[in-house]
Structure 1
Amino acid sequence: MVTTANACPKLAQRHLAALYEVCSVLTSSLDYQLSIAKVLEVMHDKAMLQHAILALVDEQGKLLEVEKVHAPGREAQFKSTRYRSEEGIIGTVFSRKQPIVLSRVENDMRFSDKLDLYSLDLPFIAVPLSKDQQVIGVLAAQPEVADPELLANFTQFMDMTASLVTRSVLLAKDVAVQTDNLQQERDRLRRKVRSNYGLDSIVGHSKAMRRVFEQIRLVSKWDSTVLVRGESGTGKELIANAIHYNSPRAAGPFVKLNCAALPDNLLESELFGHEKGAFTGAVKQRKGRFELADGGTLFLDEIGEISAAFQAKLLRVLQEGEFERVGSAQTQVVDVRIIAATNVNLEESVTEGDFREDLYYRLNVMPVYPPALRDRIEDLPELAQFLLEKIAKQQKRELTLSDSALRLMMSYHWPGNVRQLENLLERASVMSESGRIDQDLIMLDHMEPITISRPSAKVAKANLEDPELDERERVIAALEQAGWVQAKAARLLNMTPRQIAYRIQVMNIQMRQL
């Protein structure tokens, strides 16, 4: 037993050291459940306060629920213990918002030992956890010594500890509320994204589109590589989104990259990442698209435009699921589903030696063929209405389309597909002051369809160096002479495959499928 003569200085020193440790515990983690358990342990081991408990007010603010008890091996049995206002010492401290100090437990009839932990011949101290006159809980413990002269020291330590614990609990609750709000916002955004990119967001009820919907439903269930094949403007990226957000990977990232937009050196850095100093301008380490898509889906658009050298590097990732960042020898392993897209005839590219056969088979596991708009013209009214509503929302006004305008559009060949339709409707809406789009605003005369199946003798036999040919005629002539293989036509024109693909798109040249 510690004597009174030398107890006060030594106890004050112990309490000071214990208080420092309490501060360290509470500032080391935002998980107050773990922190409080450690604080109660410090009170027992360092401050001579045994069987410390923390009780917090419930969500309704009417009951105190025991959160933590320092009783090694017995904590679980106290989890459901509650105190009503004015019930026992704990409930009384809660209701009166004042500490209660008992010099001897058995002398106070209010004491209710629900936990069956405390000695009747020792003191007991309970202090409120409060801020701005609002009590959020009670901290209580039993000093190990029965000396009345030491109660002031124990009470002071309890008050200071309660103040620190109050801050920690309030901070943890604030973090919990913010985390919950963020999770709710995340879930809301996920629902919105799934709504935007679900099957309902792809418009069309034609036979060709129903076949695409069925393919999406089937391939979404599995992790097989998907190759979306179709002309520009047919919605290949929209299909990739629908596959991802209807798959088991929907909660994971959806990362996309246009392979035709970058040269090989930048493409490698974009896909695989790089280390600091790997090349000029690499001022810090950067993760590539494969790492960013780990656990989700990577959409590689215009896959048919990558060079032969880069095809070998991509093949390794698809086969092994591993790669190295540029400038690093450390192998990175990822779990990524690949969805690729192209408007290139890969079979012809393989035959011509421009595309690796083994990569072709690795990509073409599950092909999906979105139809051109001219092959599902019965979907045009629904598509036009969908796009018009989208434009109307952007312009914040009502837009309508006349029957005569719709009939005119349905008689057109649509070499630019849905993208061309959207551009036409947006242009017409801009020109309409009233918001009504009539036949006179549907400007198709300068976009006459090109009948590639019966090209003119001028184009078929043209000299590519003939100065009288305009650029569009020269590109068509090169395509004819190359058998409509873009890579060969590009070589005839001294262009890259990306350059000729860009011209085909912007010039509305309808590619012939041989």
Structure 2
Amino acid sequence: MPAMSRGTSPEVALIGVYEISKILTAPRRLEVTLANVVNILSSMLQMRHGMICILDGEGDPDMVATTGWTPEMAGQIRARVPQKAIDQIVATQTPLVVQDMSADPLFEGHEDLFGSPDNATVSFIGVPIKAETQVMGTLSIDRVWDGTARFRFDEDVRFLSMVANLVGQTVRLHKLVASDRDRLIAQTHRLEKALKEEKTGPDKDPADTGAAAGPSMGIVGDSPLVKRLIATAQVVARSNSTVLLRGESGTGKELFARAIHELSPRKSKPFVKVNCAALPEAVLESELFGHEKGAFTGALSMRQGRFELAHGGTLFLDEIGEISPSFQAKLLRVLQEGEFERVGGNRTLKVDVRLVCATNKNLEEAVSKGEFRADLYYRIHVVPLILPPLRERPGDIPKLAKNFLDRFNKENKLDMMLSAPAIDVLRRCYFPGNVRELENCVRRTATLAHDHVITPHDFACDSGQCLSAMLWKGSAPRPTLPVPPAAPTALTPLSPVPLSPAPLAAAGPALAVADALPVTCPGTEACPAVPPRQSEKEQLLQAMERSGWVQAKAARLLNLSPRQIGYALRKHGIDIKRF
């Protein structure tokens, strides 16, 4: 577009507004967007320099974009802003036109920026950038006036005012988005802090938090598996070693992560948690590492990441097996060196963080498929703790159910109770969702119960409306508990050894899980449509009978190796029939 020597014509103004509106709606950093606006103006107006200056709350330049702007020169440009001229435009909220800048005291000290090498007269046009009635900054240009042409400044002022209005609305929208985001983050941190204080307050009754298994741990259960896990967690907590919590969904991995923090020397420092599966990669990087001001659209202020917030304390990365391979490389450097850079920054930061990770994914299989980096696997797989599913500790179900009912009573100011037959029903249920599903079942039943004493007829399975029965009807779920391979491979020489082994693990992990898998629903005797589950021995005998007592065939039926079948037969004292 040729430069106009006699002001801005209506046609040029219309095209300019159209081109600038396209730039303002593009998803870029705000500083880059504003610099592109200035570049468009330089192609449409006869001008030497252009400048957009966005002010902070104190009226000082917060963001400055000029013709040919680059991130490297941003600091130098901000120091050379003609502050007196900017202040006058902001104070009067009206355009400012100066025919000869060298003779005006507003530009004293800026001759090197606005001076002309051939001593020609340089003029200045500046307009306020407004959003409603608030002045957010200024838009200005300067041009050489040789005294022969008479520039129609009024047309240029009108055109620049239209552009400034568009810029003002864009800046206002960016600030609103950033403000809402910061407000939500701050609110989340306040709620997490209040919840933590409520759980660990001095006046809190340990029974209300379910801390029956240890002080301030909030873990309910007295089965040997749980006691062994708690004892291991107490030992692990004394060191700074990375812990990997493995187990099915709903087994309480976050609860154990918090318990490890509370039992560690870092308990007075922050406990910060992040669900890696809940955030896309770009957002996850900003959440963990933080970002600098202007790093991306909406980043109007510097923000610390979760690694910085957890400095001196513990960082809990839940669902770590779901992060992308590209982000795994970025995370590996932080774990190895303890240093990183914020998004959009170049200053290296060092942190002291104790890392606790959790996953229900088979990481060994993911490593063998190339979905998870082997070096990151060994970095986080320092101290593995395998949390048992609820079906392997049925003795804890009554205590857990009473604990959940007590919380329900306290929240709703009720006095409901579980009858002995009702507890027996819960004890015989499968609960594929583990502790989380048990809590759901207790709350739902307490909400719909007809009396203050819950009986077996109050449960959904009594009327054929069991949610788990509907969920698993017709198909058995695949186990989510991480299962080490039967024989070590090149990628998995350090297969995880459960520090709290399950009772059935000795017969082979797959068989142990298969023993508890429901056929049609997780039912109980109160659910008459469902036959009772087979024991491990019965399932093994059935497979051997179907295979004609050929161990290799039986292994294929149970998805086991022949070695595991032989071990299970010896364990249960089953003699091999010879034909």
TM-score (norm 2): 0.47
Q: Does 1:149 align with 2:202?
A: no
Q: Which residue of 2 aligns with 1:467?
A: none
Measured in 2, the distance between the counterparts of 1:23 and 1:254 equals 34
Partner secondary structure for residue 126 of structure 2: strand
How far 1:77 moved relative to its partner? 1.8
Q: Which residue of 2 aligns with 1:78?
A: 77
How far 1:142 moved relative to its partner? 0.8
Measured in 2, the distance between the counterparts of 1:63 and 1:136 equals 11
Pairing 1:28-47 to 2, within 5 Å after superposition: 28-47=26-45
**Greater CA radius of gyration, 1 or 2?**
1
Number of equivalent positions: 365
Distance change (3 Å), C-alpha of 1:56 and 1:149: same
Structure 2 residue runs without a partner (length 5+): 200-208, 262-271, 280-318, 329-356, 458-526, 548-570, 573-579
Measured in 2, the distance between the counterparts of 1:413 and 1:164 equals 64
Measured in 2, the distance between the counterparts of 1:170 and 1:432 equals 55
Measured in 1, the distance between the counterparts of 2:66 and 2:190 equals 38
Distance change (3 Å), C-alpha of 1:184 and 1:80: farther
Measured in 2, the distance between the counterparts of 1:192 and 1:19 equals 50
Q: Does 1:161 align with 2:163?
A: yes
Q: Which residue of 1 aligns with 2:174?
A: 172
Measured in 2, the distance between the counterparts of 1:373 and 1:76 equals 62
Q: Indicate conservation of the 8 Å contact 1:105/1:124, yes or no.
A: yes
Identity %: 15
Distance change (3 Å), C-alpha of 1:88 and 1:487: same
Distance change (3 Å), C-alpha of 1:119 and 1:197: farther
Q: Does 1:124 align with 2:124?
A: yes
Measured in 1, the distance between the counterparts of 2:546 and 2:446 equals 36
TM-score (norm 1): 0.52
Distance change (3 Å), C-alpha of 1:298 and 1:77: same
Partner secondary structure for residue 142 of structure 1: strand
Measured in 2, the distance between the counterparts of 1:421 and 1:53 equals 61
Deviations 1:206-259 (A, max 9, x none): 77534223546859965868467xxxxxxx73234546888999431179xxxx
Pairing 1:214-229 to 2, within 5 Å after superposition: 214-215=231-232, 226=246
- Correspondent of 2:87 among 85, 91, 105: 91
Measured in 2, the distance between the counterparts of 1:155 and 1:421 equals 67
Q: Indicate conservation of the 8 Å contact 1:19/1:161, yes or no.
A: yes
Deviations 1:74-99 (A, max 9, x none): 5422335678xxx6222111011111
Q: Does 1:299 align with 2:360?
A: yes
Measured in 2, the distance between the counterparts of 1:476 and 1:393 equals 36
Q: Does 1:104 align with 2:100?
A: yes
Distance change (3 Å), C-alpha of 1:385 and 1:15: same
Measured in 1, the distance between the counterparts of 2:123 and 2:387 equals 78
Paired AA for residue 65 in structure 2: K
Measured in 1, the distance between the counterparts of 2:426 and 2:167 equals 73
Q: Which residue of 2 aligns with 1:388?
A: 405
Q: Indicate conservation of the 8 Å contact 1:123/1:142, yes or no.
A: yes
Distance change (3 Å), C-alpha of 1:115 and 1:375: farther
Distance change (3 Å), C-alpha of 1:17 and 1:146: farther
Pairing 1:48-59 to 2, within 5 Å after superposition: 48-59=46-57
Distance change (3 Å), C-alpha of 1:176 and 1:197: farther
Partner secondary structure for residue 55 of structure 1: strand
Distance change (3 Å), C-alpha of 1:298 and 1:420: closer
Q: Which residue of 1 aligns with 2:301?
A: none
Distance change (3 Å), C-alpha of 1:385 and 1:226: closer
Partner secondary structure for residue 117 of structure 1: helix
Partner secondary structure for residue 237 of structure 1: coil
Distance change (3 Å), C-alpha of 1:189 and 1:319: farther
- Correspondent of 1:320 among 368, 372, 376: 368
Partner secondary structure for residue 250 of structure 2: helix
- Correspondent of 1:398 among 414, 419, 440: 414
Structure 1 residue runs without a partner (length 5+): 229-235, 256-288, 301-313, 323-332, 340-361, 445-470, 495-512
- Correspondent of 1:237 among 250, 264, 273: 250
Pairing 1:262-341 to 2, within 5 Å after superposition: 294=324, 299=360, 317-322=365-370, 333-334=371-372
Measured in 1, the distance between the counterparts of 2:61 and 2:438 equals 66
Paired AA for residue 52 in structure 1: G
